Structure formats: C-alpha cells, structure tokens
Structure 1
Amino acid sequence: MPVPAPQLGSYQYVPETKENLDWADLATIDLSKYGTPEGKKELAQELLDALRNKGFFYVKNFNISQERVDRQFALGREFYELPLEEKLKYVPDLDAGKFNGYTPAGRYVINPQSGLKDQIEIWNMPKFNGHFPQAYPALIQSHLAEIEEFARSLHSEVLDPLFVLLAIALELPEDYFTNLHVYEQKSEDHLRYMKYGKYTPEENAKLNLWTPGHTDLGSFTLLFRQPVAALQIRDPAHNEWKWVKPQDGTLTVNACDALSFLTGGYVRSTIHRVNVPPKDQQHVDRLGLLYFSRPHNDVTLATVVESPVLQREGYTKNEFEQTGNHVPTMEEWTFAKQKWQRQIKRSDDKNHRNAVILPGFQEKVYEDVSVAA
C-alpha cells in the first residue's frame, strides 16, 4: 500500500500541443496480459519486436495509480521551486562521474555562436537499499518513505515483468535478467526529477535541439507521461527522427547500453534526443519523472551466450569482445560514461562527442546540433 506522507498541492499538466507532428509509431506492452503463460509468451514476442524494430515502446496497466505518479510530479515541482542556494548544497562530484544529488543547469553550451547554455536541472535519488548514503533537503526527507515505496514499485510492477519477458524472448530461464537486477543488490539505479527550463522565443529560434542524440547507459529507462512534446527517437529502420507522443496512462520505455552489451547488439541501445518544443508549448518548463535501471555493479557486461536466440542469430560478441578489450563491469561502465557525460562542454566539441569511453567503445556523433539552420 502507498505510504502516507505530508500533503502536496495537486499537479496540473499543461495542455498537449495542437501542432501536427511526425509521431513515432510505437508498440504498447499491456501488462494486464502478464498473468498467464499464454499472455507472457505473447508479450515476450511483442517486446522483442519492439526492441528490435524501434527500441522505444509504451507500457500500460502496470499497477501504479495515476495519483501516485502525480504526487511524484508534484514533488519534483516543489523541489525545483527551492532556492538555488539550497539545491546547490547537494551537488556531487560531477567531474568524477558522480550523479546522485543535484546537477545545476549551465554546464553545456548548446549554441556556441550566442553562448547559450543548457537550462537542465537534475535531481537523482539512488536505491533505498542501504548501499547509498545520501543527503536530502527537508522537502524530500519529509516524503522519503513515499518516494522509496514508489521507486520499489517500479521494480516489482514494471521492471521485473519486462526482464522476465525479455528472458522468455531470448529462450533463457525466466529469472535470468531479474537476477541481474535485484533491488537489494548494489547497482546505480536512480529515480530522477528533471527540469528543462524554458527559453525565450528569441533563444529558441537559435536552437535546433535542447539535448543532442544519445543513448542511455543502463538496462531500461522509464519515462512517465508528461505532455510537453520534445522527446524524439531515431527510427532505426530509416534513421529518421520521430516525435514521441505522450499517451495517457502509460510509461515510455527505452532500451539502453547495458542490454545492448549483454545481447551482443541484438537489443539496440536506442538513440534519442530532446528537441525544441512546438511553439504552443515553449512558454512552460518541461518537468520529467524518470527511472534509470542498471544491472548490479559487479555484473560483467559480456554477451549472454547461453541464449539460443543469440546463438542462432549470430549475436555472440559485443564491442569489447570483438576488439579483444577488457569487458567492463557495470560499475566500470557507469562511471566511465557518466564522467564523460558530466564534463563541461560545447555542442560543437567533436573531440568530446567522439571520445573513447573505454577501450573498445567510442561514442558516436548522431547529428550536427550547433546552430539552427
């Protein structure tokens, strides 16, 4: 049952855009079918098709009420209304790749010609399993029991079923991937409140993007529905950018680097970016509620050669294995990529965008994002 907590004001979502955007055609995984062997088998194939064809998909009927989701959005809103000097007390060592706590805006020049910097603020909260001492402002501390219950429910109600379905699809024991993602074990998962601060119309006119094309470093990323259109995915079939439409009562989920490594590239780590919102939504901030799932820190990111599917399809070596380099643990991979991501940088810095994260893996440039046409 949800944990009682102090009162929060209601959360009001902004109206959806009226612009006719080029929306991505994404599959929806309906977890109401999960309760039977036949339903699992059907969903496993649907999940595999979604992962292979798009890499992004929706999930619905995941047994977390909209009221509980709304409360997390309300907490995120209240957190970002705290004075900056209060939030700055919780900044980790970003240069060392640390990420739990508060990341202030302005570390990334997104328009070198004008010097415009990002207006993205991030608040990350690690697993509540005893492995991660974390300081919290009074606002968060007073709701911590509720936040923990919410984070844990994302594992039991969303992630565990998805990992079971993936195992079935790859003809592995059903608990194969859940055993790599046990909540009580040490892993760098985190729940995130994320704010994209609005720009003026004049500033937006100078921008192509708010965040360039990238992949996430873990297993699955969960993104709760919010109506400011900005997320785009690169459709792997034609390498075209498509907008991701907010769907009522759903989570948007994408596959990430760790799953790609574990499956020898059979599951794609999906390329996505954050575009400038349509003009009828540029006057508001964009608040995000996300969860980043990652395997245990000590998991070696080698291809799961036990999978008959991967053997049949010829996906038996990932980038590290193909080049004969050391295959990193999840902990090594996490902090190498986070250190790269958190560097103070410019959007036109090709050396950064093509950096070797670890021997055997070089980052890729997915588009030129320096200036608007």
Structure 2
Amino acid sequence: MSKDQTSLPIIDISPFLINDLNDGRQEEIALQIHRACRTWGFFYVKNHGIPMKLQEELMEFSRQFFSQPLENKMQIAMSKGGRAWRGYFPVGNELTSGKPDGKEGLYFGTEIDDDNHPKIRNKVPLHGRNQFPSVEKNDNEFRHVILTYMAAMENLGRSIMTGLALSLKLDGNFFDKNYFLDEPTCLFRIFNYPASFCQQKGNENLWGVGEHTDYGMLTLLLQDDIGGLQVKLGHDKWMEAPPISNTYICNIGDMLDRMTGGYYRSTLHRVRNLSTSRDRLSFPFFLDPHWDAEVLPIPMDEIMKIDDDAEYRWDKASVHKFAGTYGDYLLKKVSRVFPNLAEEQTIIQPNSY
C-alpha cells in the first residue's frame, strides 16, 4: 500500500461484529487494519452494523435543532452543563490550535443520571447527565435516537479495537481487559458547519476545523454527503476523505500513538466547509480508555519500536514520555479546546502532562 494512491482503504469490519475470535477472516482483516494504521492512520469501515434508519434519524433531528434561533439553542449551553462538559456551543466557541472553528455543536457523553454513582458523588469532571437538544414535538424521540446511536457506536468501536489488538499481535480482548475495564470513556459530538458562515465576507479562507490530530484512542466519523474532510500525507500533501454511503471513517488518535510508541501514528486532518447552499453535518464518536485507567506502553516487539522523534512532530511531544491516568491526560486536552470551561476542572484535578 502506497501513500501515492488517491483514496483511503475501505475495510469490511463484519468479521469482528460476531465476537468470534476463531473466525478465520479476522486475521486478514487485522492485517488490513495494520497496513492502514501504519500508512495512513485513517481508513473507512463498511458492513459495520449501524442501521441506516438510525443514521438518517440522527441527521434529520440534528438539522431540525441547528435550524432553530440561537436563543433556543443556548438554552442548553455548555456553561449550564457544569463539570459534565455537555451541551451546545455556538460558532467560533471551539478552538483548534488556538483558532476559532467555523462550526457549532453539541457535546454528549455516557449518560449518568444516578446521583449516587461514584463519579457523581466525587464530582469527577466530564461525567454526569447530558443536556439533550429540543426539537418541535420530538424531544423524547431525539433523546432516544442519541442514546441508541451512542450505544451502537460503543459496540462498533469495541469490535474495531479487537481488530486493532490483533493487528498489533495482541490478544483480541487486550483493550477490553486493560483499558476499557467495562466502562470506557465515550464522547459523542454533533457538529454543524453553517453555509452562512462561508458566505460572510472575510470568512472565505477560514477552516471549519483547523489542522489537528484527535487526542483519544479511536475516532469513528459519520458525515453527510457534502464532504470537506482532508487528511495530511507526509509534510505538505493533503488528500480528500469524501463521504462514502453507509461507511464510517475511522482514525487513531494521539493516545494510541503514545501507547504504541509512535508505531501507529495519529494523522493530521482538517475540514474545509465548501458548501454555500446548505449546512454540513458531521458526527464524530470517540472511544477512549476508562477514566482511571493508567496509561502504559503496549508491549511491542523490538522490530516495532520507534526512536523518539519529538522534534519532527507537529506538537513536539514525545510519545515515549508520559505517565498518569487517561482522565489526567484528557483534562489537559480539554483546557486547550475550551479554556474558560476547563479552567475550574484543571484546578480541581491537576494532570501530569
């Protein structure tokens, strides 16, 4: 597989959905995942098991929500979500590499509505109740669609992580046993890139999302048919990652990059919103380690080990020097995206990164 090819690989993930580690097809699929992670850090997955009807309902309800006046959407502003870090933010309120993005969005996480849950009692940041969006006559149904979708995506992500484990010559349940611990950190976003933003004078050259890598373990992206996602190849070449019907784009994040010592590298990407006729929707889901899981290097063969190359990396960070829990790491990242919202949280629980 060469970086000269013009499209990302498409991988049939169905052999991992049946949870049968004796399925002979899994070895070949794991090899495809290995090649994709070493070459691109990105790939499409097909035959993923997420019903098309569920995808369509999610998109339709999301369009209804974002079409409302700003004052309606601000009724569930993230500032009202407290430490749970959930709710709505308007265009320009999320930063990438210190610059505001041309998108608005909704933040969700695992729903915890039990005040006696240990994470709630201990006031752990990024845990708690979601603020669900309101749409005319369908509030409860939209809530149901969001929670159903998140549960389906967690299952899909776990299946892909089985393939990733096998691609690294590990037991298929390696991540379940060592990092998810029956309670992975699941974060879900609904982003809207307004066409009106592109039409405003002075915004023609602004990015929907600037150049960045994802900070977690695994990202699964559903996007509508407009497109705009670009993946960086090498130092200066960008490739389009267009929507392909009924597939998800999957990419590895900085945490898996760290855990593999740079063997599987997270890849820079960005979004250009080119639509001037209608808004663009995207739905990234992030499957990450348990909040309290200690982040440790994955056992690697000597031939897989990569020398420290921090000076050549875009963030100048060493993947060989880190310690602490995933929660420590995540709070540090939050403070860069929403500095005002994260300020209290990072004081409450300092991190070691």
Partner Cα separation in structure 2 for residue 265 and residue 30 of structure 1: 25
Contact preservation (8 Å) 1:98, 1:338: no
Aligned mate of 1:264, from 261, 265, 269: 261
Look up the match of 1:353: none
Amino acid corresponding to residue 50 of structure 1 in structure 2: A
* Distance 1:87-1:183 versus aligned 2 partners, 3 A rule: farther
1:94-150 superposed Cα distances (whole Å, 9 cap, x missing partner): 9x996421112133699xxxxx96441110111135552233344444432332222
Contact preservation (8 Å) 1:219, 1:256: yes
Look up the match of 2:51: 65
Look up the match of 1:132: 128
**Segment of structure 1 superposing worse, 201-210 or 123-132:** 201-210
Structure 1 residues 309-348: aligned runs within 5 Å = 309=301, 311-315=302-306, 322-323=320-321, 327-343=323-339
Q: Tell me by how many angstroms 1:47 deviates.
A: 0.4
Matched, 1:147 2:146: yes
Look up the match of 1:191: 188
Partner Cα separation in structure 1 for residue 42 and residue 205 of structure 2: 25
Amino acid corresponding to residue 249 of structure 1 in structure 2: N
Q: Tell me by how many angstroms 1:329 deviates.
A: 1.5
Look up the match of 2:103: 120
Amino acid corresponding to residue 286 of structure 1 in structure 2: R
Look up the match of 1:3: none
TM-score (norm 1): 0.74
1:285-339 superposed Cα distances (whole Å, 9 cap, x missing partner): 111122111111112222112x4x4x3322498956745xx51311111111111
**Segment of structure 1 superposing worse, 329-338 or 281-290:** 281-290
Look up the match of 1:75: 61
Q: Tell me by how many angstroms 1:182 deviates.
A: 4.3
Look up the match of 2:38: 52
How many residue pairs were aligned? 312
Matched, 1:40 2:26: yes
Amino acid corresponding to residue 176 of structure 2 in structure 1: T
Amino acid corresponding to residue 312 of structure 1 in structure 2: I
Partner Cα separation in structure 2 for residue 293 and residue 77 of structure 1: 25
1:204-260 superposed Cα distances (whole Å, 9 cap, x missing partner): 774153321101111111111322121101013x54111112111100111111111
Identity score, percent: 24
1:182-201 superposed Cα distances (whole Å, 9 cap, x missing partner): 495262x2222110112354
Aligned mate of 1:26, from 8, 30, 42: 8
Aligned mate of 1:297, from 291, 294, 302: 291
Contact preservation (8 Å) 1:55, 1:269: yes
Partner Cα separation in structure 1 for residue 211 and residue 319 of structure 2: 25
* Distance 1:200-1:296 versus aligned 2 partners, 3 A rule: closer
Partner Cα separation in structure 2 for residue 186 and residue 254 of structure 1: 17
Q: Tell me by how many angstroms 1:52 deviates.
A: 0.8
Partner Cα separation in structure 2 for residue 138 and residue 235 of structure 1: 40
TM-score (norm 2): 0.77
Amino acid corresponding to residue 259 of structure 1 in structure 2: L
Q: SS in structure 2 opposite 1:133? A: coil
Tell which has more relative contact order, 1 or 2 (C-alpha 8 A, sep 6+): 1
Q: Tell me by how many angstroms 1:159 deviates.
A: 0.9
Amino acid corresponding to residue 127 of structure 1 in structure 2: T
Q: SS in structure 1 opposite 2:208? A: strand
1:333-371 superposed Cα distances (whole Å, 9 cap, x missing partner): 111111111248xxxxxxxxxxxx9776xxxxxxxxxxx
Matched, 1:287 2:281: yes
Q: Tell me by how many angstroms 1:264 deviates.
A: 1.2
Q: Tell me by how many angstroms 1:163 deviates.
A: 0.7
Partner Cα separation in structure 2 for residue 124 and residue 144 of structure 1: 13
Look up the match of 2:124: none
Contact preservation (8 Å) 1:23, 1:244: no
Q: Which 5+ residue runs of structure 1 have no aligned equivalent?
A: 1-21, 111-115, 345-356, 361-373
Aligned mate of 1:216, from 209, 214, 226: 214
Matched, 1:253 2:250: yes
Contact preservation (8 Å) 1:257, 1:269: yes
Q: SS in structure 1 opposite 2:174? A: coil
Q: Tell me by how many angstroms 1:32 deviates.
A: 3.0
Partner Cα separation in structure 1 for residue 159 and residue 64 of structure 2: 32
* Distance 1:93-1:304 versus aligned 2 partners, 3 A rule: farther
Partner Cα separation in structure 1 for residue 262 and residue 83 of structure 2: 25
Amino acid corresponding to residue 154 of structure 1 in structure 2: M
Q: Which 5+ residue runs of structure 2 have no aligned equivalent?
A: 114-126, 311-316, 341-349
Q: SS in structure 1 opposite 2:105? A: strand
Q: SS in structure 2 opposite 1:335? A: helix
**Segment of structure 1 superposing worse, 311-320 or 70-79:** 311-320
Kindly report the root-mean-square deviation, in angstroms, between the aligned alpha carbons of the 2 structures: 3.3
Partner Cα separation in structure 1 for residue 178 and residue 266 of structure 2: 18
